[in-house]
Each structure stands twice: as C-alpha cells, then as structure tokens.
Amino acid sequence: MTDQPRLAQPSAFAAGVPRNADLPLTPQPSPGRGSVPFDLPGVHVGTAEYGEGPTGCTVIHVPAGARTAVDARGGAVGMSGGYDFNHAVCLAGGSVYGLAAATGVSDELLARRENRTRWDDLQLVSGAVIYDFSCRDSAVYPDAELGRAALRGAREGLFPVGRCGAGRTASAGKVEFGRAEFAGQGAAFGAFGEAKVLVATVVNAVGAVVDRNGTIVRGNYHAGEGARRHPRDDYAATIGEPAPAVMGNTTLTVMVTNVRLTDGELLQVGRQVHSSMHRGIQPFHTLTDGDVLFAMTTDEVDLAGVKPTALGTLASEVAWDAILSAVE
C-alpha cells in the first residue's frame, strides 16, 4: 500500500565499505512482490541480485532480436550500446560500475552461440544503469556474473515487480534526500486487438510518483507532517535560496510492442511514451536524472490501420500503470 511511508535511509558514503572483490558474492533470485503477466511470445525476462548491496539487475532477452529505438534524456545518462537492434537489454543498479552486468549478458549469449563469432552470429546487448548508492552503505555493484545469472533465470510471460532486479534499492521523491522513499521496478501490459504493448520501468527519480487523481503516492514525504507533498510546493518555497540538487537518480524504461513500425515511427512512439511519463513522475527528465527508454518491436504483426500516434497514446497509459506498479 502506497499510503504507508517507506523512507530511504541516506548512505553515509563512508570510505572502506566492501566492494565486489572484498566479498564472496553469490547471485540470488530477485522475485520482488510478484510478477505481471504479459503475452509477447519470444520475450524473456530475468532478474538477479546481490543481497550484500543490496543491488540487482534485470534482463529483457529477445532471442530472435528486436529493432530498437533509444530515447535518452536528462543530464546524467549512464548507458552502453544504444544499438538500433538488440538481442537483450540489461538494466542495473550500481551506476557506472553496474554497466559491467551487460558484459555478462553478452558473454552468456556468446556461449549460447557456441562461441561463433561470424558477424551475423554476434549478439547485441545494450545496458543502462541507475545510481542506487544513495541509500545503501556498500560499494557492491551488479557485475558480469550477476548479468549472467539474470539471463539464465529469464522466462517468457512474466515480469517481476517491486523491490527487485534493477529496482532493488531504487528511490523516488528527492527534493531533499531525507524525504525520499523506496520505489522499485514496475510493469504493465496492454492488448488492443492484435496490438500488444509491454512497458517496464525502474523508478529511481528526483521526482515523486503521482497517480491519476493527482495525488503523490510515493516520495517527498514530510515526516513532521506525516504526509507527502507535491515537489512544486517545496521548490516554490526555495526560489532564490541555495538548494543543492540531490544527485544520483534516473528512471529506466523498456517498451516492447509486437506492431511492425518503421524505424522513424518506432522512435517517435518511444519519444511519445517517454514524454507522457512526466504525468506519473514529477518532475521528470531533470538535470540530475539520466532517463532512458528503449522502444523495441518484435515485428510480429503488420497492422496497417494502426496509427503510430494512437499506439503511442495507448502505450502511454500502460506506462503510467507501470510507474504506479513500481511503487506499490
């Protein structure tokens, strides 16, 4: 229930905390509070975590490959690859160090191709990361072994949600960090005739999460008042005063559809959906966010009657559901 606060304890950022090389790390399952079912044949999802972080990663694997458009916004993007065709996308905590998880996914896919390296056997993997050190006292990050574990555990038809995978220690609503609350990873699926859309998002935003009634449901919690406030009220009160920005944020999103679109249409639908997410996360795409959306299509159905704008509009509602799913 989002009406119960779950304040994120700020990190002490102490020197000498353990990192991966200091611990006998073993990848663990990261099931979250449950899973969202989806019907997109050929799309597999896996999660894994290090409890010692805690931190984790999420892998979306499309063995046949999927055309991809990337929309990256904000002032602090952390991404690798960014290809226009991918066999997997790896989302991870650990900030820049967590990009190592994508290399493990690549290595596992190479092994599955029996180490064949002909150009048309190459497996393309893009990665993106959130900064999740803000509310944990360790330097443990998702590495190649954790990426391999997430891919090995990937299954069709279910997307784990809650405080799991890349969203294991995500937080939101950071006008001041003492008001931040734990968020997580969310997903939602929509079918509109033959057109299908899956949206999954890891919410680790400066902004607070807003429901369709305009109510703040996660983040910017004022303990003294026992209530959440819209960030605009706090920002209005600080105009003209020194107010250091809370660093280390980012929301990562993957949208997968089965509708065949041109490259230009896929990019524009992705941008439309990404822009729409400001309704559920306020503010969004800030100077200290590094928001990334991967728009992917399996090219399964050719629906000449489906206008990209209509698909983007419907997918935008699915995206809002995914945001709310991330903070339940």
Cis peptide before 283 (omega within 30 of 0): yes
- Smallest Cα–Cα separation from 327: which of 216, 194, 224, 238? 216
List beta partners, residue 34.
Answer: 161
- Known catalytic residue at 250: yes
10 Å CB burial of residue 226 (0-12, 13-18, 19+) is exposed
Question: Cα 30 to the chain's mean position, in Å?
Answer: 15
Contacts 24+ apart (CB under 8 A), 301-307: 301/194, 301/195, 301/258, 301/259, 301/260, 302/260, 303/193, 303/194, 303/195, 303/259, 303/260, 306/195, 306/259
Catalytic option among 250, 257, 286, 297: 250
| Ramachandran angles phi, psi of 176, nearest 5° | -135, 145
Question: Cα 84 to the chain's mean position, in Å?
Answer: 19
Helices 263-276 and 308-326: crossing angle in degrees, nearest 10, is 40
What are the percentages of helix, strand and coil residues in the chain, rounded to 5?
A: 25, 35, 40
In sequence order, the 6+-apart residues with CB closer than 8 A to the CB of 77 are 128, 250, 290, 291, 292
In sequence order, the 6+-apart residues with CB closer than 8 A to the CB of 197 are 189, 190, 191, 255, 256, 257, 311, 314, 315, 318
d(CA 169, CA 164): 8
Contact at 8 Å (CB) between 169 and 55?
yes
| Positions marked catalytic | 250
